[in-house]
Structure 1
Amino acid sequence: MIRFVTLFALVLLHFTALAQAKKSRQPNIILIVSDDHSAPFLGCYGYPEIKTPNIDKLAAEGIIFKKAYTTAPQCVLSRAAIMTGRNTLDIQMTRFSAPLDASVTSYPELLRKGGYHTGILGRSFHLDGNRRVPETVAVLEKYNLETFKNRVDYLKASGNRDTIFQQYTEFLDQAPKGKPFFVQVGYSDPHRLFNAKNFEPDPAKISVPAHWPDTKLLREDFAAYLGEIQRLDSDVGRVLEDLKKRGLDQNTLVVFIGDNGGALLRGKGTLYDLGIHVPLIIRYPGLIKAGQTSDALVSGIDIAPTFLSVAGLPVPKEITGQNLAPAFSNPQFAGHDHIFAVRGAHGQGLPTNSSNFDLGRTIFNKKYKLIYNAIWQIPYHPVDFAGQPFWLDLKQKHAEGTLAEPFDKLLFADRRQMFELYDEEKDPFETNNLAGKPEAKQIEHELKSRLQEWMIVNRDYLPLPIAP
């Protein structure tokens, strides 16, 4: 009997040691999130007039995903999907100021249960509701809707660059030795207002996207946006350098991603490319060969299952994202067949224009993109820059009839088309709408059918795109 007990104890000790060894091999995870950051505005994404050496180095040491898209062109909706691995309809997060319901599990909670020390810091993570309106605050407190203090070990928010770095170092200092950690480091750049004066490139020497009117004031505004990204790069450099000094860089998965597209013409708040196409870079020495580029079709819902898989943890069945880890070693990894994204209410304003309130859906693959504007009668109204000099100048030119016709139609049409269809290969700026044209009838119907299925399965409240 004594021999049996001794043998059992040795076996138990062996499996305990194996479990501890597995835990020790779990990588640390750092998610760096920029705010309102469209692809391709980084040096490593091929934009020549921007200097982002730290992010470029991160990309050179890992893998760049060229076709990464968020599930919405707005921070709350997009971040909710990233945080849960589920689309915004599925988790009922299409209203901008909504808190994530306690019944919906976030991946930091799963990492925490799997042995991780977890934290969220820096720029507001946007998923506990909004405290700007007293009546809203009363509801949040009455029903205990602010849940993230219970979901992670460390939770602090700040928009100040130095404070963000202090929070980051404080989190690492507090992380238990021998225990893996996860931390989300959020930045405000390049969100408006643009104030990175010391980082701005020369407005006269930058390349303006071809579907924008090339005016002096627009160049100045765009240069200010690029300056914000260059300032962000210096902050990312501080985080990565500190990680290296601590000797943690070799066993840490570092991910850089934008939460949604920039507040630029036909960007944030729209389902066009600049609204949902974001940079995504992943570095993990030993697992990811340096200098890789992937053309896989990637969605924001893919972050959660990737983190869980790399951590050696099970992925719950309700998570609909794909694990991106196969792309680390397989250049043929294709990602999704199709990506879906939604546009919901924005901010806390009343529905006075399409900036505050717009409802739309999109589906696309690598070749074609369909946009469904449910409130098509409302004209385009920019998010976050309606009062900026460059936009007021464009409005004046429109009123005077001096704005070139192609730009005038894109920006100031009295109403939009209910459906827009674009050939993404031939028309990357999405200016030639093929919807309703005989030559595009088949692909338009195919995309509408797939969108219809997705909307039905996810209990969408919008009218379906194919009428009886």
Structure 2
Amino acid sequence: MTPSRHAALSVFSTLAGIAVSLPGVARGDAPRNATPAPSSPKAQGAPAGALPPPNVIVFITDDESWLERSAYGWSNLPTPHFDRVAREGVLFNRCYTSAPSCAPSRASLLTGRNFWELEQGAFIQGWLPAKFPRLPDLLQSAGYHTGYTGKGWGPGLLPPDAPKKNPAGTAYNQLKRKAEKGMSNIDYPANLNAFLDQRPEGSPFYFWIGSIEPHTPLDPDNYKKLEARHGIKLGDVTMPGFVPDTPEMRRTRAAVQYEICHADDDLGRVIETLERRGLLENTIIFVTGDNGTQIPYSKATPYDWGVHEPLAVMWPARVKPGRRVDDFVNFADFAPTILAAAGAAIPGGMSGRSFLDVLLSEKTGRIDPARSWTVTGLEWHGELPPYSSAARAIRDERYHYIANYAIRPANRTPAGRGAPAELKPGEIWEELYDCETDPWQLTNLAASPAHAETKARLAGQLRDYQLQTRDPRATGDMKLFDETRALVEGRKKNNYQD
């Protein structure tokens, strides 16, 4: 066993084994995020007392899986600013995006809904319908100064029936910097400064910082810069156990990791800006990524490295530092959490559930017994017939069950996973992984008689939740999804030239 694999087993086994004495959520129990949002924000735990409403920063990277940050104990990558947020706030071990694809992932975060509830917004290169309330607009109505820099929602079209503005809000992208090869020239921290300069006196603010790193294209010489600037040689690069350990893959991993370091440096400048302006104390900072790292069997797949995201949150005025939380949180939970913290009303249509109580708790480990599982999935990420990445997955503290509705492209389906050559209409093919004994998800247990009961339990739990949230894959009402898929496939064939 290689050292990196041994370390991963240790990390995954520790996390999977936490709170095993707590009861799980069995089929028929209330879903984690199905509790209707109350009409009164106080019921969601809105802060009381003399403090004004908090400021909010959402710092989100583009294509980063959860273990990339050194705070999680697997990677040797120097990410001191993420680690500071984790150290002075809360590190979440089980944060999951709704979908391992940029646009639906970001749409879920902005609307407080599962991606499949968002109609055309469930697809990358579709659009997010204006009928779904967005977090920046809701906060603006509550008196917040709002905006974003870098990558907001997207890529995709703007709604045909709404003002031509990114769903992430008003853009602050004017200030540029000299860019390294393969990276954006948008100066995110400088644009934060410009945004704050325009803030009305006394107004709380919400600002989304969408780092375009570590998305491709990547400079092929990044591995040299990673060694020169951060002391990590190719032989030191951490390698997930599901990809081949080849020189080429190590260079790819090093290129990604160098850009993660770059994004972490930007995070440090953001924190420095808040400190210099005296704003850090009452600002909630969320640091996460939108979907998995761009390597095989990660991004655009339902596996853990596609949907499991880093998350650290600090709020010096209210959150006890140095805590590590094992509750499952989903991107659909972010909007209601932020609205609750702001004391703003939460729309009743949000299927996400605020985890503000978890943030404000002084406990570590498992806090909310109901947060013992989450659901993710995907409809489309650029593949063309005969392939489709449509799937739904449920993840609990030990197992990961995946229902695939079609045949995925080979670069998203590792060999030996039991994928059939073709499917009949209405058929699915299943995957089941024991993430405690098999952290890299190498062995599909879906056909194992010893795991039949576990598979049936998770499949039933998943379907119950899909029906409760009106997932077209469960209700059978696929007309809009089929039409949207035809639209985005057509856009791809036309190289997205509308």
TM-score range, shorter chain: 0.7 to 0.9
1:317 paired with 2:348, answer: yes
d(CA) in 2 for partners of 1:260, 1:237: 22
Deviation at 1:199, TM superposition (A): 3.4
> 2:165 matched to which residue of 1?
148
Query: Do the aligned partners of 2:184 and 2:213 also contact (CA within 8 Å) in 1?
Result: no
Asked whether 1:105 is paired with 2:105, we answer: no
1:340, distance to aligned residue in structure 2 (A): 1.0
CA contact (8 A) 1:379 1:413 kept: no
2:62 to 32, 35, 38: 35
What is the deviation of 1:164?
Answer: 2.5
Structure 1 position 342 matched with structure 2 position 377 = yes
Contact 2:153–2:167 (CA under 8 A) maintained in structure 1: no
Gaps of 5+ in 1: 1-20, 131-139, 384-406
1:279 to partner: Cα distance:
0.4
How far apart are 1:49 and its partner, in Å?
2.1
1:225 to 230, 250, 256: 256
Q: Which has the higher contact order (CA 8 A, sep 6+)?
A: 2
User: What is the TM-score with the length of structure 1 in the denominator?
Assistant: 0.80
- Whole-angstrom distance in 2 between the partners of 1:153 and 1:110: 13
Name the % identity.
31
Task: Please point out which of 127, 138, 142 is paired with 1:114.
Answer: 142
Aligned residue for 1:5? none
The structural deviation recorded for 1:147 is 4.8
Corresponding position: 1:431 with 2:442: yes
The residue aligned with 2:403 is 372
Q: How does 1:215-294 map to 2 (within 5 A)?
A: 215-294=246-325
**Alignment partners' CA distance in 2, 1:85 and 1:379:** 30
Amino acid at match of 1:421: L
Alpha-carbon distance change, 315 to 60 in structure 1, aligned in 2, over 3 angstroms:
same
Range with bigger deviation, 317-326 or 267-276: 317-326
Aligned-residue offset at 1:145: 4.5
CA–CA separation in structure 2 for the residues paired with 1:191 and 1:210: 21
Q: Could you say what the CA RMSD is over the residues aligned between the two structures, in angstroms?
A: 2.7
- For structure 2, the 5+ residue unaligned runs are 1-47, 177-182, 477-498
Amino acid at match of 1:193: P
Pick aligned residue for 1:450 from 440, 461, 471: 461
- What is aligned with 1:86? 113
Compute the displacement of 1:126 (Å).
1.1
Give the aligned residue type for 1:177: E
**Corresponding residue for 1:177?**
201
Q: Distance in 1 between matches of 2:268 and 2:431?
A: 40
Query: Residues 152 and 208 of structure 2 are in contact (CA less than 8 Å); yes or no, is this contact kept in structure 1?
Result: no
Number of residue equivalences: 406
User: Which of the numbers 212, 234, 252 marks the counterpart of 1:188?
Assistant: 212
Q: Residue 47 of structure 1 aligns with which residue?
A: 74
- 2:195 and 2:137 map into 1 onto residues whose CA distance is 17
The one-letter code of the counterpart of 2:276 is K
1:420 aligns with 431
- Cα deviation for residue 315 of structure 1 reads 1.9
Structure 2 counterpart of 1:303 = 334
Do the aligned partners of 1:72 and 1:276 also contact (CA within 8 Å) in 2? yes
Pairing 1:126–2:154 present: yes
State which structure, 1 or 2, has the greater radius of gyration over its C-alpha atoms: 1
| Residue of structure 1 in register with 2:367 after alignment | 333
The 2-side partners of 1:35 and 1:346 are apart by 15
TM-score by length of 2: 0.75
Decide whether the 8 Å contact of 2:420 with 2:429 is kept in 1. no
